[in-house]
């Protein structure tokens, strides 16, 4: 996104011109990490320095080795250690005299509030863990959750962690098909879901979609647990293997389940994400390395302290919510906020009202949200007291300097550092960002690699680029939070992430996240975006191949190409170019069915912004679709070289169609 589109947004010339910002003195004085020596410490004492992350947790038994590299790139961390994630996120805080502190403050869209103290959380996690056990869930069984932002979601995750059953959370906005694909891929025999939830004041039916998804599961599903979120608002019936969450929990009144000691390398959860090919991949995260890493980054980057009220406005259905709503904050024993609904309901000050009323200390959100706030206007945050805020963060996509500065000024009142955190589902936690108690901030640039993270921007020949030049972002040493494999597909793990730059014969392993980047003379990294066929729509990662296959699955469509077009708020939007079949007309009816097809296969987040029907797609002589040209058309840019096209004329046709829309 360029800066041109939001010229009208209020920023004084002083701010527009300033390109670096020192962290506020007051912040530095109280920061969890403020000694610049930490970078050197990790460099000199790598990998053992990572023990400081593991030391944030309570271990049932100590590890023998910090890192085992024997089977690289199948690295292992804190090998031989045993721990339980739920114990670390719940029990130990109860034992340490903080049972009455709020663990989760939840707010429903209609304004209901629920506060779970650590004691409350302890009780309910135990009871639900006991219920899962009684249903027959055993250690290592994958339990799927298809749930919106309600407290039962983190409770179910922690209950699974307690009994050593990995969870696989499927974002509530994903379709029935997407749920079925993920349950099939993980051979998951258990599902926790709910009847519905609120969106913009309306009760949204969710259980119908879950049931439809269940119908697409190829193996037998043992049990389904349904949380009754909507009460009488929306009646539904449970089938034989479906159970009411409240009844299950009530039946376990006061029941306790010993936390199962898990091997550090045992799977904590699976998180499916989009890649180059059509099939989503299940990133496998472990108990010891992942939990250490998210606790450590939550402490050093988000500066979380137990007495804080911390709010990450992501959805738990994505990795950001796993790492920085649930596991990181709860491992540190802080109060984590959850909000069910949309930021503009009932009005556009909803988030600021929540911050004011709860005196939120730390706020972590996405650039797409910030761009929406800018559009709505500074009067909304200005009408609320946001002075409780100490730190702001962003994640999910590049943030343009103007949006960064708007956030810094209108939300942070120029007194909160802003951390722009680059990371991925696969990295488990933050990788490239400033340490807010140490580094200066440069709007638009995420910052240096975190201590212990060996990020390099390189050319195809593996040489590092010069400052200012663009290249590929790579990570050249392992880290504790990294994914261990693609679930059930070790080969794909190697081919997707390691093949590009590694040299296995010399035992040299380089992780390639498929992002382009630049680096400056201070080693600050500016992430430019994906170089593969992955779109970033409102901070959500979507595979173009997945969308294409949904479009081609629609009757009447012969062939399709999907690209991302620039969008003022979403960052990128989905553009579909489709060839119709035979004498099918690209009429309104087909258009509707294409939208439906995409929503059924993936969900409303992948809804096309624009659908263009065309008799042909621009192809090279070898028959490859030139997506670059289609992107240029979507963005109204001047067209690049068309000389390699078999059918150059078609691009003008398509261009005219897009312009006339
Ligand atoms: C955590 C998360 C990962 C992709 C990643 C990159 C983009 C994330 C960013 C950023 C620039 C940042 N991305 N944070 N780009 N600056 N601060 O978002 O995970 O959903 O797996 O997406 O998002 O392109 O590769 P995930």
**pLDDT grade, residue 641 (50/70/90)?**
confident
Residue 362 in 3-state DSSP?
strand
**Ligand 1 binding pocket mutation candidate from 423, 432, 606 (most atoms within 8 A of CB):** 423
Ligand 1 close to Cβ of residue 524 (< 6 A): no
Ligand 1 close to Cβ of residue 513 (< 6 A): yes
pLDDT at 7: 47
User: How far does the centroid of ligand 1 lie from the alpha carbon of residue 396, in Å?
Assistant: 4
Nearest CA to 133 out of 107, 103, 165, 106 is that of 165
CA-323 nearest atom, ligand 1: 1
pLDDT at 9: 65
Mean pLDDT of 628-642: 89
- Taken in order of first residue, the domains within the chain and their CATH numbers are 538-659 (3.30.300.30)
Q: Which helix (H) or strand (E) holds 529?
A: strand 525-530
**What share of the chain has pLDDT > 70, as a percent?**
98
Ligand 1 close to Cβ of residue 421 (< 6 A): yes
DSSP secondary structure letters along 573-597: EEEEEEEEPTT----HHHHHHHHHH
User: Is it the case that residue 6 has pLDDT exceeding 70?
Assistant: no
**pLDDT grade, residue 2 (50/70/90)?**
very low
Count of CA atoms in the C-beta half-sphere (13 A) of 653: 12
**What share of the chain has pLDDT > 90, as a percent?**
89
pLDDT single digits (tens) 17-64: 999 999 999 999 999 999 999 999 999 999 999 999 999 999 999 999
Residue 645 in 3-state DSSP?
strand
User: Is it the case that residue 533 has pLDDT exceeding 60?
Assistant: yes
Partners of 516 in beta bridges: 472, 529
d(CA 93, CA 91): 5
Phi/psi-derived region of residue 136, left when phi > 0, alpha when psi is between -120 and 50, beta in every other case? left
pLDDT at 1: 40
**pLDDT grade, residue 8 (50/70/90)?**
low
pLDDT single digits (tens) 187-217: 999 999 999 999 999 999 999 999 999 999 9
305 contacts 298 by C-beta, under 8 angstroms: no
182 contacts 169 by C-beta, under 8 angstroms: no
CA-529 nearest atom, ligand 1: 24
Nearest residue by C-alpha to atom 3 in ligand 1: 424
Mean pLDDT of 75-95: 98
Q: What is the CA radius of gyration of the chain?
A: 24
Mean pLDDT of the chain: 95
User: How far does the centroid of ligand 1 lie from the alpha carbon of residue 530, in Å?
Assistant: 9
pLDDT single digits (tens) 363-414: 999 999 999 999 999 999 999 999 999 999 999 999 999 999 999 999 999 9
Ligand 1 close to Cβ of residue 434 (< 6 A): no
**Ligand 1 binding pocket mutation candidate from 397, 486, 539 (most atoms within 8 A of CB):** 397
Alpha helical stretches, state H, 401-447: 401-406
Mean pLDDT of 127-154: 98
Mean pLDDT of 66-91: 98
231 contacts 195 by C-beta, under 8 angstroms: no
Instruction: Count Cβ atoms below 10 Å from residue 358 Cβ, excluding itself.
Output: 17
Mean pLDDT of 457-472: 95
Mean pLDDT of 67-73: 98
CA 487 to chain centre: 18
Ligand 1 close to Cβ of residue 397 (< 6 A): yes
Per DSSP (E only), the strands in 228-361 are 242-244, 262-263, 267-273, 281-286, 309-312, 335-339
Backbone φ, ψ for residue 40 (5° rounding): -65, -40
d(CA 131, CA 159): 9
Mean pLDDT of 536-557: 92
d(CA 275, CA 534): 6
Ligand 1 close to Cβ of residue 393 (< 6 A): no
User: Is it the case that residue 4 has pLDDT exceeding 50?
Assistant: no
**pLDDT grade, residue 3 (50/70/90)?**
very low
Strand-by-strand arrangement of the 515-519 sheet: 455-458, 470-475, 515-519, 525-530
Planar angle of CA 458, 464, 466, nearest 5 degrees:
110
Q: 581 CB contacts (<8 Å, ≥6 apart)?
A: 555, 556, 557, 558
User: Is it the case that residue 223 has pLDDT exceeding 90?
Assistant: yes
Nearest residue by C-alpha to atom 18 in ligand 1: 396
d(CA 296, CA 289): 11
User: Is it the case that residue 5 has pLDDT exceeding 60?
Assistant: no
CA-420 nearest atom, ligand 1: 17
Ligand 1 close to Cβ of residue 572 (< 6 A): no
Phi/psi-derived region of residue 97, left when phi > 0, alpha when psi is between -120 and 50, beta in every other case? left
d(CA 526, CA 518): 5
Ligand 1 close to Cβ of residue 291 (< 6 A): no
Q: What ipTM was estimated for this complex?
A: 1.00
Nearest residue by C-alpha to atom 2 in ligand 1: 424
User: How far does the centroid of ligand 1 lie from the alpha carbon of residue 269, in Å?
Assistant: 20
Planar angle of CA 391, 392, 396, nearest 5 degrees:
145
For residue 73, say if its preceding peptide bond is cis, omega within 30 degrees of 0. Answer: yes
Ligand 1 close to Cβ of residue 315 (< 6 A): no
**Ligand 1 binding pocket mutation candidate from 422, 497, 517, 518 (most atoms within 8 A of CB):** 422
Nearest CA to 376 out of 347, 397, 356, 353 is that of 347
**Ligand 1 binding pocket mutation candidate from 536, 542, 571 (most atoms within 8 A of CB):** 536
Mean pLDDT of 420-426: 98
**pLDDT grade, residue 418 (50/70/90)?**
very high
d(CA 619, CA 422): 34
pLDDT at 657: 85
Return the DSSP state at 4.
G
Instruction: Count Cβ atoms below 10 Å from residue 150 Cβ, excluding itself.
Output: 20
Q: Which helix (H) or strand (E) holds 656?
A: helix 649-660
Mean pLDDT of 272-293: 91
pLDDT single digits (tens) 93-102: 999 999 999 9
- Highest-pLDDT range among 401-410, 613-622, 632-641: 401-410
């Amino acid at each position: 996104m360029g800066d041109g589109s939001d010229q009208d947004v209020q920023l004084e010339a002083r701010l527009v011109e300033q390109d670096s910002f020192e962290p506020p003195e007051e912040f530095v004085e109280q920061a969890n990490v403020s000694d610049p020596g930490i970078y050197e410490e990790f460099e000199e004492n790598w990998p053992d320095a990572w023990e400081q992350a593991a030391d944030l947790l309570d271990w049932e038994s100590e590890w023998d080795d910090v890192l085992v590299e024997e089977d690289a790139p199948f690295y292992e961390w804190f090998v031989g250690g045993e721990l339980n994630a739920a114990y670390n996120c719940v029990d130990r805080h109860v034992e340490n005299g903080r049972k009455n502190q709020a663990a989760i403050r939840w707010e429903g869209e209609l304004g209901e509030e629920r506060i779970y103290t650590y004691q409350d959380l302890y009780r309910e996690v135990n009871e639900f863990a006991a219920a899962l056990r009684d249903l027959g869930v055993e250690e290592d069984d994958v339990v799927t959750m298809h749930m919106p932002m309600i407290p039962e979601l983190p409770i179910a995750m922690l209950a699974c962690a307690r009994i050593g059953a990995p969870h696989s959370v499927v974002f509530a906005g994903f379709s029935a098909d997407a749920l079925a694909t993920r349950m099939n891929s993980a051979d998951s025999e258990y599902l926790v879901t709910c009847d519905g939830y609120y969106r913009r004041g309306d009760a949204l039916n969710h259980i119908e979609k879950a049931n439809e998804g269940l119908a697409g599961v190829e193996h037998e599903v043992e049990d389904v647990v349904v949380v009754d979120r909507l009460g009488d608002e929306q009646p539904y019936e449970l089938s034989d293997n479906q159970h009411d969450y409240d009844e299950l929990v009530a039946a376990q009144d006061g029941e306790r389940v010993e936390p199962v000691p898990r091997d550090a390398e045992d799977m904590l959860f699976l998180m499916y994400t989009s890649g180059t090919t059509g099939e989503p991949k299940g990133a496998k995260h472990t108990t010891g390395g992942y939990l250490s890493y998210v606790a450590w980054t939550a402490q050093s980057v988000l500066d979380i302290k137990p007495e804080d009220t911390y709010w990450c406005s992501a959805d738990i259905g994505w990795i950001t919510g796993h790492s920085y709503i649930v596991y990181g904050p709860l491992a540190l024993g802080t109060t984590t906020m959850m909000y069910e609904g949309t930021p503009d309901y009932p009005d556009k000050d909803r988030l600021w009202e929540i911050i004011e009323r709860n005196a939120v200390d730390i706020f972590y959100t996405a650039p797409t949200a910030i761009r929406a706030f800018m559009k709505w206007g500074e009067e909304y945050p200005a009408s609320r007291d946001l002075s409780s805020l100490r730190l702001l963060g962003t994640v999910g996509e590049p943030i343009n300097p103007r949006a960064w500065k708007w956030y810094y000024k209108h939300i942070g009142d120029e007194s909160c550092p802003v951390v722009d955190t680059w990371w991925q589902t696969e990295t488990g936690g933050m990788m490239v960002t400033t340490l807010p108690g140490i580094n200066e901030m440069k709007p638009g640039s995420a910052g240096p690699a975190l201590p212990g993270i060996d990020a390099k921007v390189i050319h195809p020949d593996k040489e590092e680029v010069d400052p200012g030049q663009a290249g590929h972002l790579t990570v050249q040493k392992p880290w504790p939070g990294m994914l261990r494999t693609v679930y059930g597909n070790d080969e794909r793990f190697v081919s997707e992430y390691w093949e590009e730059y590694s040299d296995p014969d010399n035992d040299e392993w380089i992780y390639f996240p498929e992002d382009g980047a630049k680096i400056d003379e201070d080693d600050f990294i500016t992430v430019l975006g994906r170089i593969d066929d992955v779109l970033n729509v409102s901070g959500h990662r979507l595979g173009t191949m997945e969308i294409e296959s949904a479009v081609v699955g629609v009757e009447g469509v012969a062939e399709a190409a999907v690209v991302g077009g620039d969008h003022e708020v979403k960052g990128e939007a989905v553009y579909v170019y489709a060839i119709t079949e035979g004498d099918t007309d690209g009429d309104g009816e087909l258009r509707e069915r294409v939208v439906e097809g995409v929503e059924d296969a993936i969900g409303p987040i992948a809804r096309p912004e624009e659908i263009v029907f065309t008799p042909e797609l621009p192809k090279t002589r070898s028959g490859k679709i030139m997506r670059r040209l289609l992107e240029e058309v979507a963005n109204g840019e001047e067209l690049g070289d068309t000389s390699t096209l078999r059918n150059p004329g078609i691009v003008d046709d398509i261009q005219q169609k897009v312009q006339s829309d």
